[in-house]
Amino acid sequence: MTRIGLAGVPAVLLGGRVSSRVAVATVLLLSMGCRAGPSPVDGSYDVYILGVPAATLEVDGDTYRIRKKDLAANRWGDWVSASVETVAVDDRFRLWGAVADLPARLQSLARIDWTSLESVGWPDAATIWLRYEGGEGAGSSRAWGAESGPIRWYVKDGTLPMDLVVGRDNRLLAAFDVRGDVVVVRPGEEDVTTVERWRDDNISQPRFGYRLHEKTMVQGSDGLGLATLVYLPDGEGAGGPFPTILVRTPYGISRLIEGFWHYAARGYAVVL
Protein backbone atom coordinates (compact mmCIF):
# COMPACT_ATOMS: atom_id res chain seq x y z
CA MET A 1 0.00 0.00 0.00
CA THR A 2 1.52 3.30 -1.12
CA ARG A 3 0.35 6.69 0.02
CA ILE A 4 0.22 9.43 -2.56
CA GLY A 5 -1.06 13.00 -2.39
CA LEU A 6 -2.69 14.49 -5.48
CA ALA A 7 -3.13 18.25 -5.54
CA GLY A 8 -2.84 18.30 -1.79
CA VAL A 9 -5.46 15.57 -1.06
CA PRO A 10 -4.00 12.30 0.25
CA ALA A 11 -5.51 9.10 -1.09
CA VAL A 12 -4.78 5.40 -0.68
CA LEU A 13 -3.91 3.19 -3.62
CA LEU A 14 -5.08 -0.39 -3.28
CA GLY A 15 -4.03 -2.76 -6.03
CA GLY A 16 -3.31 0.18 -8.33
CA ARG A 17 -6.83 1.66 -7.93
CA VAL A 18 -7.97 4.46 -5.70
CA SER A 19 -10.39 3.49 -2.97
CA SER A 20 -12.77 6.46 -2.99
CA ARG A 21 -14.34 5.41 0.33
CA VAL A 22 -10.97 5.44 2.08
CA ALA A 23 -9.99 8.67 0.31
CA VAL A 24 -13.17 10.41 1.50
CA ALA A 25 -12.63 9.11 5.02
CA THR A 26 -9.07 10.38 4.94
CA VAL A 27 -10.19 13.84 3.84
CA LEU A 28 -12.80 13.94 6.60
CA LEU A 29 -10.25 12.95 9.22
CA LEU A 30 -7.87 15.59 7.95
CA SER A 31 -10.61 18.22 8.09
CA MET A 32 -11.50 17.24 11.64
CA GLY A 33 -7.85 17.45 12.64
CA CYS A 34 -7.22 20.92 11.14
CA ARG A 35 -6.20 23.56 13.63
CA ALA A 36 -5.88 27.28 13.21
CA GLY A 37 -2.31 28.54 13.00
CA PRO A 38 0.30 29.92 10.63
CA SER A 39 0.50 28.40 7.19
CA PRO A 40 3.55 26.22 6.41
CA VAL A 41 4.51 28.77 3.76
CA ASP A 42 4.08 31.96 5.80
CA GLY A 43 7.23 33.95 6.42
CA SER A 44 10.10 35.60 4.58
CA TYR A 45 12.16 34.15 1.72
CA ASP A 46 15.33 35.37 0.06
CA VAL A 47 15.83 34.68 -3.63
CA TYR A 48 19.31 34.10 -5.08
CA ILE A 49 20.53 33.65 -8.64
CA LEU A 50 23.90 31.89 -8.74
CA GLY A 51 24.44 32.98 -5.16
CA VAL A 52 23.63 36.65 -5.82
CA PRO A 53 20.70 38.18 -3.85
CA ALA A 54 17.96 39.02 -6.37
CA ALA A 55 14.65 39.35 -4.49
CA THR A 56 12.90 39.08 -1.12
CA LEU A 57 9.41 37.61 -0.80
CA GLU A 58 7.16 37.86 2.25
CA VAL A 59 3.99 35.83 2.81
CA ASP A 60 1.60 36.69 5.63
CA GLY A 61 -1.66 34.80 5.23
CA ASP A 62 -3.49 36.37 2.30
CA THR A 63 -0.96 39.17 1.81
CA TYR A 64 2.15 38.92 -0.37
CA ARG A 65 5.01 41.43 -0.61
CA ILE A 66 8.06 41.38 -2.85
CA ARG A 67 11.00 43.53 -3.77
CA LYS A 68 13.51 42.80 -6.51
CA LYS A 69 17.01 43.96 -7.21
CA ASP A 70 18.15 45.62 -10.43
CA LEU A 71 21.16 43.36 -10.87
CA ALA A 72 22.97 45.61 -13.33
CA ALA A 73 22.61 48.64 -11.06
CA ASN A 74 22.98 46.58 -7.86
CA ARG A 75 20.06 48.52 -6.43
CA TRP A 76 16.94 47.30 -4.62
CA GLY A 77 13.52 48.33 -5.89
CA ASP A 78 10.51 49.29 -3.80
CA TRP A 79 8.27 46.78 -2.04
CA VAL A 80 5.05 45.92 -3.87
CA SER A 81 2.04 44.07 -2.45
CA ALA A 82 -0.72 41.82 -3.73
CA SER A 83 -3.50 39.67 -2.32
CA VAL A 84 -3.55 35.91 -2.53
CA GLU A 85 -6.30 36.21 -5.15
CA THR A 86 -4.22 38.39 -7.51
CA VAL A 87 -0.64 37.22 -7.03
CA ALA A 88 -1.01 34.57 -9.75
CA VAL A 89 -1.70 37.20 -12.42
CA ASP A 90 0.72 39.82 -11.10
CA ASP A 91 3.94 39.60 -13.11
CA ARG A 92 5.81 41.50 -10.41
CA PHE A 93 5.70 38.29 -8.36
CA ARG A 94 7.14 36.06 -11.07
CA LEU A 95 10.62 34.83 -10.26
CA TRP A 96 13.14 33.12 -12.55
CA GLY A 97 13.61 29.71 -14.11
CA ALA A 98 11.86 26.71 -12.62
CA VAL A 99 10.74 28.69 -9.54
CA ALA A 100 9.07 31.45 -11.59
CA ASP A 101 5.51 30.47 -10.58
CA LEU A 102 6.29 29.44 -7.01
CA PRO A 103 4.70 32.50 -5.31
CA ALA A 104 1.40 31.81 -7.09
CA ARG A 105 1.48 28.15 -6.03
CA LEU A 106 2.42 28.51 -2.38
CA GLN A 107 -1.14 28.19 -1.09
CA SER A 108 -1.74 24.88 -2.86
CA LEU A 109 1.66 23.67 -1.66
CA ALA A 110 0.66 24.51 1.92
CA ARG A 111 -2.32 22.13 1.77
CA ILE A 112 -0.07 19.09 1.37
CA ASP A 113 1.37 17.14 4.28
CA TRP A 114 4.79 16.60 2.73
CA THR A 115 6.13 14.89 5.84
CA SER A 116 3.86 11.84 5.73
CA LEU A 117 3.61 11.03 2.02
CA GLU A 118 5.84 8.97 -0.25
CA SER A 119 4.78 10.59 -3.54
CA VAL A 120 2.92 13.78 -4.35
CA GLY A 121 1.10 14.96 -7.48
CA TRP A 122 1.49 18.75 -7.46
CA PRO A 123 0.43 21.18 -8.84
CA ASP A 124 -1.40 18.57 -10.92
CA ALA A 125 -1.59 14.80 -11.13
CA ALA A 126 0.80 14.73 -14.10
CA THR A 127 3.68 16.21 -12.08
CA ILE A 128 4.91 13.57 -9.65
CA TRP A 129 7.24 14.44 -6.78
CA LEU A 130 9.35 11.83 -5.00
CA ARG A 131 11.37 11.95 -1.80
CA TYR A 132 15.10 12.20 -2.29
CA GLU A 133 16.79 9.27 -0.64
CA GLY A 134 20.50 9.39 0.04
CA GLY A 135 23.21 11.15 1.95
CA GLU A 136 24.32 14.75 1.69
CA GLY A 137 22.44 16.64 -1.00
CA ALA A 138 24.18 18.63 -3.71
CA GLY A 139 24.98 22.05 -2.32
CA SER A 140 23.85 21.21 1.19
CA SER A 141 25.75 20.54 4.39
CA ARG A 142 22.82 18.66 5.94
CA ALA A 143 22.08 14.99 5.45
CA TRP A 144 18.75 14.22 3.80
CA GLY A 145 16.37 11.64 5.13
CA ALA A 146 17.67 11.62 8.70
CA GLU A 147 14.94 11.24 11.30
CA SER A 148 15.18 14.87 12.37
CA GLY A 149 16.60 16.30 9.16
CA PRO A 150 14.82 18.13 6.34
CA ILE A 151 13.07 16.26 3.54
CA ARG A 152 14.06 16.95 -0.04
CA TRP A 153 11.63 16.37 -2.90
CA TYR A 154 12.34 16.22 -6.62
CA VAL A 155 10.19 16.01 -9.75
CA LYS A 156 10.22 12.68 -11.54
CA ASP A 157 11.35 13.13 -15.17
CA GLY A 158 11.05 16.91 -14.90
CA THR A 159 12.15 18.87 -17.98
CA LEU A 160 12.59 22.04 -15.90
CA PRO A 161 13.73 20.52 -12.60
CA MET A 162 12.84 22.13 -9.30
CA ASP A 163 13.51 20.66 -5.86
CA LEU A 164 11.74 21.42 -2.59
CA VAL A 165 13.07 21.18 0.95
CA VAL A 166 10.49 20.75 3.73
CA GLY A 167 11.13 20.69 7.47
CA ARG A 168 9.77 18.05 9.81
CA ASP A 169 7.14 20.58 10.88
CA ASN A 170 5.96 20.68 7.23
CA ARG A 171 7.27 24.22 6.73
CA LEU A 172 8.67 25.01 3.31
CA LEU A 173 12.36 25.75 3.87
CA ALA A 174 13.54 26.18 0.30
CA ALA A 175 12.81 25.64 -3.37
CA PHE A 176 15.40 25.78 -6.10
CA ASP A 177 15.93 25.56 -9.82
CA VAL A 178 18.46 22.74 -10.07
CA ARG A 179 19.70 23.62 -13.55
CA GLY A 180 19.78 27.42 -13.31
CA ASP A 181 20.70 27.66 -9.60
CA VAL A 182 17.85 29.98 -8.65
CA VAL A 183 17.17 29.51 -4.94
CA VAL A 184 14.21 30.57 -2.79
CA VAL A 185 15.11 30.04 0.87
CA ARG A 186 14.07 31.12 4.34
CA PRO A 187 16.75 33.22 6.08
CA GLY A 188 18.80 30.93 8.28
CA GLU A 189 18.17 27.84 6.15
CA GLU A 190 20.78 28.56 3.47
CA ASP A 191 22.72 25.42 4.37
CA VAL A 192 20.08 23.25 2.67
CA THR A 193 20.83 24.99 -0.65
CA THR A 194 23.79 26.00 -2.81
CA VAL A 195 23.79 29.48 -1.24
CA GLU A 196 25.98 28.34 1.64
CA ARG A 197 28.68 27.17 -0.77
CA TRP A 198 28.58 30.43 -2.72
CA ARG A 199 29.44 32.14 0.59
CA ASP A 200 32.72 30.26 0.90
CA ASP A 201 35.62 32.52 1.87
CA ASN A 202 37.53 31.37 -1.22
CA ILE A 203 34.85 32.70 -3.58
CA SER A 204 34.61 36.40 -4.51
CA GLN A 205 31.39 37.79 -3.07
CA PRO A 206 28.85 39.78 -5.15
CA ARG A 207 29.39 43.47 -4.32
CA PHE A 208 28.87 45.22 -7.64
CA GLY A 209 26.56 45.92 -10.48
CA TYR A 210 27.86 45.81 -14.02
CA ARG A 211 27.98 48.01 -17.10
CA LEU A 212 28.88 47.72 -20.75
CA HIS A 213 32.23 49.47 -21.04
CA GLU A 214 32.54 49.32 -24.81
CA LYS A 215 31.74 47.44 -27.99
CA THR A 216 34.64 47.13 -30.37
CA MET A 217 36.00 45.06 -33.25
CA VAL A 218 39.14 43.22 -32.22
CA GLN A 219 41.33 42.36 -35.18
CA GLY A 220 42.29 38.70 -35.46
CA SER A 221 45.46 37.27 -36.97
CA ASP A 222 43.69 36.91 -40.34
CA GLY A 223 42.80 40.60 -40.36
CA LEU A 224 39.08 40.06 -39.70
CA GLY A 225 37.37 41.94 -36.90
CA LEU A 226 35.81 40.00 -34.05
CA ALA A 227 32.81 41.72 -32.44
CA THR A 228 33.66 42.16 -28.76
CA LEU A 229 31.67 43.37 -25.74
CA VAL A 230 33.51 44.39 -22.59
CA TYR A 231 31.54 44.48 -19.30
CA LEU A 232 33.06 45.86 -16.11
CA PRO A 233 32.00 45.75 -12.45
CA ASP A 234 30.17 48.94 -11.55
CA GLY A 235 29.53 50.73 -8.27
CA GLU A 236 31.36 51.89 -5.18
CA GLY A 237 34.80 50.32 -4.89
CA ALA A 238 34.76 48.96 -8.44
CA GLY A 239 38.19 50.25 -9.42
CA GLY A 240 40.40 48.30 -11.81
CA PRO A 241 42.39 46.56 -12.96
CA PHE A 242 40.12 43.51 -12.93
CA PRO A 243 40.75 39.81 -13.39
CA THR A 244 39.06 38.91 -16.65
CA ILE A 245 36.73 36.20 -17.90
CA LEU A 246 37.09 35.73 -21.68
CA VAL A 247 34.27 33.96 -23.52
CA ARG A 248 34.52 33.11 -27.22
CA THR A 249 31.62 31.83 -29.31
CA PRO A 250 30.80 31.51 -33.03
CA TYR A 251 27.27 32.69 -32.27
CA GLY A 252 25.76 36.02 -31.35
CA ILE A 253 27.00 37.86 -28.24
CA SER A 254 24.28 40.50 -27.73
CA ARG A 255 22.55 38.51 -24.93
CA LEU A 256 25.47 36.44 -23.77
CA ILE A 257 25.95 38.59 -20.66
CA GLU A 258 22.76 37.00 -19.26
CA GLY A 259 24.81 33.90 -18.50
CA PHE A 260 27.95 35.61 -17.25
CA TRP A 261 26.86 38.78 -15.41
CA HIS A 262 27.45 37.16 -12.02
CA TYR A 263 31.20 37.24 -12.67
CA ALA A 264 31.05 41.02 -13.06
CA ALA A 265 29.00 41.20 -9.85
CA ARG A 266 31.93 39.44 -8.15
CA GLY A 267 34.55 41.85 -9.44
CA TYR A 268 35.61 40.34 -12.76
CA ALA A 269 35.71 41.98 -16.17
CA VAL A 270 33.74 39.93 -18.70
CA VAL A 271 34.89 40.01 -22.32
CA LEU A 272 32.56 38.39 -24.81
Give pLDDT tens digits for 47-104.
999 999 999 999 999 999 999 999 999 999 999 999 999 999 999 999 999 999 999 9
Q: Which has the closest alpha carbon to 199: 218, 183, 215, 175?
A: 183
pLDDT, tens digit, for every residue of 92-124? 999 999 999 999 999 999 999 999 999 999 998
pLDDT of residue 146: 60
| Total number of residues shown for the chain | 272
- Choose the weakest-confidence range: 17-21, 159-163, 171-175, 215-219: 17-21
The span from the CA of 156 to the CA of 119, in Å, is 10
Q: Are 44 and 58 in contact (CB under 8 A)?
A: yes
Query: Does residue 35 register a pLDDT over 50?
Result: no
Query: Does residue 262 register a pLDDT over 90?
Result: yes
